[in-house]
Structure 1
Amino acid sequence: MSLLLVMGLQPLSDPRSFCNEKICEILKEHGGTEPVGLDSIKPCYEIHHTEVDMDDAIIIEEGAYSEVYLVKWRGTEVAAKTIRSSIASNDRVKSTFMKEIALWQRLRHPNIVQFLGVLNHSGRSVFLTEYLPNGSLYDILKRKGRLDLPTTVAFALDIAR
């Protein structure tokens, strides 16, 4: 449980969404917290839309409800995540996306991609993070397959910090 809290995850989110009050009570007794609200978005992370050139964006990843683009911000390549235009008007998707932004704002760790800020582009929220040209640990594991023991230990130590 404490690892979830340190990572900024909200352990009551799932049981609350499934209306499982008994599990919610147990989690609260052990430090569980309520889901992040939309009011937790801090304006200090707001980036003016003119600082990011979304017109030259290159799509690098697509998910069920979002797209990630490679863009330039202040001359640096960064990743820009936004809701797919086809579902951008869905209130539930927007709410989930805003909660994701609120979570990203709170994550600070040398081995976690850095959250940079939020902007509004064509009526949609976009958040920027560091861009990893070699991909995530997951991408590396998919490409390389099984890792040797020293590399595995090095990754495990980095994750544990």
Structure 2
Amino acid sequence: MLHIDNSLEVLKKYLRLEELNKMSLAEIIEICRERNLPTDENKAQLISDLLFWKDHTRPIPAPSTPQLSSLSDPRNLNTVHQRNGALDSKEFTMLFLDGNSPSLDIPRQDLTLGESIGSGGFKDCFKGAYKGETVAIGKLRLTDFSELDLAEVKHEINVLKKKVILLNLNFRQLRHENVIRFIGVCTHPSLLSIVTEICTNGDLFHYIKKSPRPSFTQQVNYMHDIALGVSYLHTRRPAIIHRDLKSMNILISQDGRAKINDFGLARIRPKANLLMHTQCGTLNWYVCVPPEYWTLNPSYTEKVDVYACALIFWEIMTWGFYGYPFQDLSAHALQVAVQQHEIRPPMTKLTGLYPRNLLVLVIEMWETDPSLRPSMSHVVDRLSAYF
């Protein structure tokens, strides 16, 4: 069930420029505090922040509860299914650009499609070129696309689009070298695609499989990059919770930098003390799903990403040398092991190979109680000690 911040709907009724101008600075600051927005600016800037928050923060459906608001006419979905899920460019534009972001629509003639560099989920990824820049083109496989798939793709684009919109408005420069840069979408029927910066070394999961174990310095660099990227997302206003962090969603650039990718399951968290309520995440070998997910109506915060990062860090340190645990456990057995018995990936073989403080940090990050896990900003500080 999707949890909706009712205060957002209430605020929309009176968060208007004329109403805010009538309020005292103290009242404005109190509203900003409740929304986890900055409070140390002047009144005009605080009002500007609130108006932007009102216009660009809204409850976003989780993949398990798709609500394709852009398809206001149910007949549009029927048309999609009748054509086995293939969308034409007009429908694609309606779904993902909403008529409000023409600058994000990339003309087909401006894209050059090159060699295949991978595939996954609903996308085939190609190396390409756009305005002289080498880019990654995620071509969407829309045959037999389900409503759930459409919801996930649309949400991924909306999260990335939010960053670009903010950039265009010059409102808090949402750019970070450890988060994949979103460039735009191509809505041409022959190449419905998402265009982002390219990372020539692919995702971390496959990079580990094909590359020798790097030096300790490089391993810590990867961890530090990941922590920086996730911390950046968590400290946005409103915060962004990724919810599906795993080595397959970490890309490695040509110069060896790690970058956060794939926001298909990301959720905007509009209020600092608001818990998210949906089931999601990917159940895989390294127990990506944290203990708080193992309920019918899970409640969680950005600490789910901290837990996931701990597992990625463990994967970086082992570098595939010791295999992948929990392969023989059923979903129920894994749930019992993680939630009731606090079973985690083995650390024994890492003792002596890595600094004790680093191993302790990972253990703290996958604590069962989310409140005991450090923030990603704190993780960044701890890892910075190694530089």
Which TM-score band applies after superposition, normalised by the shorter structure? 0.5 to 0.7
Q: Secondary structure at the match of 1:81?
A: strand
Summarize the alignment of residues 98-137 of structure 1 with structure 2, pairs less than 5 Å apart: 98-105=154-161, 106=163, 108-122=175-189, 125-137=192-204
Is residue 186–residue 192 contact of structure 2 (8 Å, CA) maintained in 1?
yes
Q: Unaligned 5+ residue runs, structure 1?
A: 1-14, 17-23
- 2:35 is aligned with 1:35: no
The CA deviation at 1:108 is 3.1
- 2:205 is aligned with 1:138: yes
- 2:117 is aligned with 1:60: yes
Aligned to 1:156: 223
The CA deviation at 1:92 is 3.3
In 2, the alpha carbon distance for the partners of 1:123 and 1:34 equals 32
The CA deviation at 1:75 is 2.6
The CA deviation at 1:115 is 0.8
TM-score calculated relative to the size of structure 2: 0.30
Work out which of the residue numbers 108, 132, 138 in structure 2 matches 1:49: 108
Aligned AA (1:139): H
Q: Secondary structure at the match of 2:121?
A: coil
The CA deviation at 1:91 is 3.7
Is residue 4–residue 59 contact of structure 2 (8 Å, CA) maintained in 1?
no
The CA deviation at 1:157 is 2.0
TM-score calculated relative to the size of structure 1: 0.65
Is residue 135–residue 197 contact of structure 2 (8 Å, CA) maintained in 1?
yes
Greater alpha carbon shift after TM alignment, 66-75 vs 40-49: 40-49
Is residue 87–residue 93 contact of structure 1 (8 Å, CA) maintained in 2?
no
Q: Unaligned 5+ residue runs, structure 2?
A: 8-35, 37-57, 62-68, 71-94, 164-173, 229-387
How far does the alpha carbon of each residue in 1:108-155 deviate from its partner, in whole angstroms, 9 at most, with x for none?
Answer: 321122111111121663110111122233333232364432222222
CA RMSD of aligned residues (A): 3.4
Is residue 53–residue 73 contact of structure 1 (8 Å, CA) maintained in 2?
yes
Aligned AA (1:34): P
Change (3 A) 1:92 1:144: same
How far does the alpha carbon of each residue in 1:78-113 deviate from its partner, in whole angstroms, 9 at most, with x for none?
Answer: 11113214335x443223212111122327321122
Q: Which has the higher contact order (CA 8 A, sep 6+)?
A: 1
Structure having the higher strand fraction is 1
Q: Secondary structure at the match of 1:121?
A: coil
Change (3 A) 1:104 1:138: farther
Aligned AA (1:64): G
Aligned to 2:134: 77
The CA deviation at 1:63 is 1.6
In 1, the alpha carbon distance for the partners of 2:105 and 2:119 equals 24
Is residue 141–residue 147 contact of structure 1 (8 Å, CA) maintained in 2?
no
The number of equivalent residue pairs is 136
In 1, the alpha carbon distance for the partners of 2:188 and 2:96 equals 20
Change (3 A) 1:114 1:40: same
Change (3 A) 1:40 1:75: closer
Change (3 A) 1:133 1:50: same
Is residue 79–residue 130 contact of structure 1 (8 Å, CA) maintained in 2?
yes
